[in-house]
Amino acid sequence: MTGKKKVLVVLGSGGHTAQMLKLLKLLGDKYEYEYAVNDGDVLSTKKINGRVYTISNPRVYPYGITMWRLILCIEKSFITLVKSKPDAIISAGPGLTVPLFILGKLFRKKCIFLESWSRNSSRSQSGRFCYYIADLFFIQWPDMKKLYPKAIYAGRLS
C-alpha cells in the first residue's frame, strides 16, 4: 500500500494510449496507476508497467455496438472497479469509457475525460456522453468550447 491516490487509466489503441501516456508523464509518480484496456488491444499493454484489467470492447468494427458485447463490457467494468477500487478514472475516449464512467459515478469515483486531440471540430461518441457525467472534462482545441461550453481548455498534449 503506497498511500497514493489510485487512478484507473483507460487506454485505447493508437492515439488514445499515446495521449494518456503523455498525460501520465506530466503527472509523474504522484499517483498509483492501474490500467483498463479493451480485449482487442495488444499494443497498449506493451507500453505500460502496472496492473492491467482487460474489458470487452462494446464496439466491434465495422458492426458497431452489439448487445452481447455491451453486456460483457458492463460486467467486466463492474469487476474491474470492484477489484481496483480507484479514487478516479481518467480517459481520452475509447469505447469502454462510457460503461466505466457510468459505473464509476455509481461507485462515487471521480471521472476525468480528455477529448481526443484528433477532435478539433466535432465531438467523439464517448465525449458526447461523458461531457454530462464527467467531474472534469478537458478539450485540447479552443474552438471545441463551442461544442463543449463547460469544458476546460488546457492546451494540447503534444
**Percent of the chain scoring above 70 in pLDDT:** 94
* Residue type (1 letter), 74: I
Residue 35 has, within 13 A of its CA and on its CB side, a CA count of 22
Which DSSP category does 115 fall into? -
Which DSSP category does 46 fall into? G
State the CATH class of domain 6-153. Answer: alpha beta
Distance CA 47, CA 21 (A): 9
Calculate mean pLDDT across residues 85-93. Answer: 95
pLDDT at 154: 87
**Where in the chain are the domains?**
6-153
- pLDDT tens digit string along 48-83? 889 999 998 877 766 677 788 889 999 999 999 999
Sign of the CA dihedral running 139, 144, 145, 147: negative
- pLDDT tens digit string along 90-120? 998 878 899 999 999 999 999 999 998 777 7
pTM here is 0.92
Distance CA 11, CA 13 (A): 7
Distance CA 148, CA 158 (A): 21
Q: Is residue 149 packed enough to be buried (19+ CB in 10 Å), middle (13-18) or exposed (0-12)? A: exposed
